[in-house]
């Protein structure tokens, strides 16, 4: 009888620990909101990068990038709603550099997303930006290496209904101010990147970003040192922010029927 109870106890403890371990795997990762600052002047980099995200894999397609230019730099940001609900910064070392990429194939898609602003249906067009994990230092402090636990993102031109009367306080490492969140302009998938034969995989396939324009900021501008997989960029000038990128779930997506994919020169792609 004692032996039977011992076996039952061991099995119960095993199940309990197995359940605990399973619970640690199941919750989705927490990703920050990002406030993105305009970078008005940046060199054009000649690079060779191959990108494949969840849209590409369904075609299948690999997008070839041959030039990059920094257009935004993004800080993690704390968001406080008018009702007082606070979404704190999870990792102060997580930053993104948004590189504008050379024109890509345009495939019209409809994407349904859900985030802290509710459920929205977006019209998504061609890929415009590669967002890259980045380390940041304020001069004279040198930029640290980029974080390795943050995904790269490929961001598409997007449009959708404007948000109505959404005012939030945004507080990051540069400033704190109240802004209006206006309308979606980008939708970002985590993306697999191949650069110089080095493959950076997708860490969190279910975490996406929806980026919204925001009202005019009073930020005067500053200079930063940054480092990412494409190099060191010292004394990079950043100007007032105009985007808020929000972690989002992608509920569904589909290619718009009756449309033909087009190449960057406007020609239809081979079928």
- Is the pLDDT assigned to residue 64 strictly greater than 80? yes
- For residue 205, the model assigns a pLDDT of 95
State whether the Cα torsion 202-138-90-83 is positive or negative.
negative
Strand partners, 169: 80, 178
Mean pLDDT value across the chain: 88
Paired tokens of 258? 């009756």
Closest CA to 91 of 77, 79, 80, 73: 77
What average pLDDT score do residues 90-102 get?
97
- For residue 203, the model assigns a pLDDT of 94
pLDDT tens digits for range 177-233:
999 999 999 999 999 999 999 999 999 999 999 999 999 999 999 999 999 999 999
- Is the pLDDT assigned to residue 12 strictly greater than 90? no
- For residue 107, the model assigns a pLDDT of 94
- For residue 258, the model assigns a pLDDT of 79
Query: pLDDT exceeding 90 applies to what percent of the chain?
Result: 82
Length of the chain counted residue by residue:
271
What average pLDDT score do residues 50-55 get?
97
Instruction: Report the distance separating Cα 263 and Cα 271, nearest Å.
Output: 12
Q: What is the SS3 assignment for 31?
A: coil
Instruction: Report the distance separating Cα 147 and Cα 97, nearest Å.
Output: 12
For residues 108 and 101, the answer to whether their CB atoms sit within 8 Å is: no
3-state secondary structure labels for all residues of 174-228: CCEEEEEEEEEEEEEEECEEEECCEEECCCCCCCEEEEEEECCCCCCCEEEEEEE
- For residue 29, the model assigns a pLDDT of 58
Indicate the pTM of the whole model.
0.87
- Is the pLDDT assigned to residue 11 strictly greater than 50? no
- For residue 171, the model assigns a pLDDT of 98
**How many CB atoms neighbour CB 137 within 10 A?**
14
Q: What is the DSSP letter of 108?
A: -
**Cα 6-11-16 angle, rounded to 5 deg:** 125
pLDDT tens digits for range 163-186:
999 999 999 999 999 999 999 999
- For residue 19, the model assigns a pLDDT of 30
The pLDDT confidence band at residue 265, using thresholds 50, 70 and 90, is low
- Is the pLDDT assigned to residue 266 strictly greater than 90? no
């Amino acid at each position: 009888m004692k032996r039977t109870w011992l076996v039952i106890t061991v099995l119960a403890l095993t199940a309990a620990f197995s359940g605990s371990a399973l619970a640690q795997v199941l919750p989705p990762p927490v990703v920050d909101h990002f406030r993105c600052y305009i970078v008005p002047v940046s060199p054009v980099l000649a690079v060779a990068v191959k990108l494949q995200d969840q849209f590409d894999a369904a075609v299948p397609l690999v997008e070839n990038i041959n030039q990059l230019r920094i257009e935004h730099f993004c800080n993690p940001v704390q968001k406080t709603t008018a009702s007082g609900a606070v979404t704190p910064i999870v990792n102060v070392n997580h930053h993104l550099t948004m590189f504008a990429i050379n024109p890509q194939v345009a495939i019209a898609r409809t994407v349904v997303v859900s985030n802290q602003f509710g459920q929205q249906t977006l019209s998504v067009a061609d890929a415009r930006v590669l967002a890259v994990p980045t380390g940041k230092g304020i001069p004279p402090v040198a930029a640290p290496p980029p974080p390795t636990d943050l995904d790269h993102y490929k961001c598409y031109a997007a449009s959708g209904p404007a948000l109505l009367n959404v005012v939030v306080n945004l507080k990051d490492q540069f400033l704190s101010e109240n802004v209006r969140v206006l309308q979606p302009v980008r939708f970002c998938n985590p993306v697999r990147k191949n650069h110089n034969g080095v493959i950076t995989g997708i860490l969190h396939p279910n975490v996406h970003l929806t980026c919204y324009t925001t009202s005019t900021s009073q930020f005067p501008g500053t200079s930063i040192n940054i480092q990412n997989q494409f190099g060191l960029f010292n004394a990079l000038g950043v100007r007032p922010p105009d985007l808020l990128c929000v972690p989002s779930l992608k509920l569904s997506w589909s290619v718009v029927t009756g449309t033909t994919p087009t190449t960057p020169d406007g020609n239809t792609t081979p079928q």
